[in-house]
Amino acid sequence: MSSRILPDFELLMPQSIAEAVDLLSSYGRRVTVMAGGTDVLVAMKSTQSPEYVMSLANIPGLAHVLFEPAKGLRLGAKATVADLLAHPDVMRHYPSLWHAAEIFATGQVRNTATVLGNLLRASPAGDCSCAIYAIGGTVVFQSVSGRREVDIDDFWLSYGVTARRADELAVELVLPPPSDGARAAFRRLTRTNDDLAKLNVAVQLDMLGGTCIDARLAMGCVAPTPLRLRHTEALLKGREITAELLQRVAESVPAEISPIDDKRSTAEYRRQVAGVVLKRAIEDACRAD
């Protein structure tokens, strides 16, 4: 983080979810919500000058990581990446998300950054975002009007923009329980381990023996938002996973993505390697116990 001075702002410290949504109802887009602050504080030193910053630090009941076999995984708005890594059920039942969290930034950042904040940042490079997109799930919002759930497939609208309304507080992420045949994996390419990804991939397969019953494939850094590879998913569904099929899968990826040149990579490099990385991630998932 740079040493530049933060702009002037008024700090709001609600003591409950009810108080927080009242503030959002009153101030709307004039408020920037801060949980861990790892993105918010950096942005405030460069591109953002919010009138109000609302911290969730004093609101109880938002730091949970709860797993129930029949209901899935629930992550509160203040649950950090480190909290996720410390939960044995995440490692066992959601290995792609656990691996994305394991290589997320640095230890200091993992102790502060929240999983839900990574989704709300709406960056196409988000590692947890990519893994969650492949898993599926819903984001739960709270406002003075009540609760609203948004499917993760409808969550990212454009770069930096999500389906959250100005008067809503994101309070929870809910991931579905894994099926008996669930297989998952996560891979990324990066310049250094602590850097943002230049490409990331997550796969979630529902297998019956060697046959793929269903598939969700997500990729980051190749579009303005995290991207589902729906055409490539269709190639896998109902088919036995063979070397020939995986080669077809790899060859289908470039037609689904729209990467750009940036300081971490080039569009051409991403286009050339995307299918290979996806193929290897599917192989990882099929090898998983």
User: What is the percent of the chain with per-residue pLDDT over 70, rounded to a whole number?
Assistant: 98
Tally Cβ neighbours within 10 Å of residue 39: 19
Instruction: Indicate whether 1 pLDDT > 50.
Output: no
pLDDT in tens, 41-61: 888 887 888 999 999 999 999
Q: What is the pLDDT of residue 233?
A: 98
Give me 260's structure tokens.
Answer: 């750009």
Is residue 175 within 8 A of residue 72, CB to CB? The reply is yes
Q: Which of 208, 210, 140, 128 is nearest to 173 (CA)?
A: 140
Name the band, by pLDDT with cuts 50, 70 and 90, for residue 195. confident
Handedness of CA 118, 120, 125, 128 (dihedral sign): positive
pLDDT, greater one: 106 or 53: 53
pLDDT in tens, 142-180: 999 999 999 999 999 999 999 999 999 999 999 999 999
User: What does the alpha-carbon distance between residue 219 and residue 229 come to, in Å, rounded to a whole number?
Assistant: 7
User: What does the alpha-carbon distance between residue 269 and residue 272 come to, in Å, rounded to a whole number?
Assistant: 5
Name the band, by pLDDT with cuts 50, 70 and 90, for residue 289. low
Instruction: Indicate whether 125 pLDDT > 60.
Output: yes
pLDDT in tens, 211-270: 999 999 999 999 999 999 999 999 999 999 999 999 999 999 999 999 999 999 999 999
pTM attached to this predicted model: 0.95
Instruction: Indicate whether 2 pLDDT > 70.
Output: no
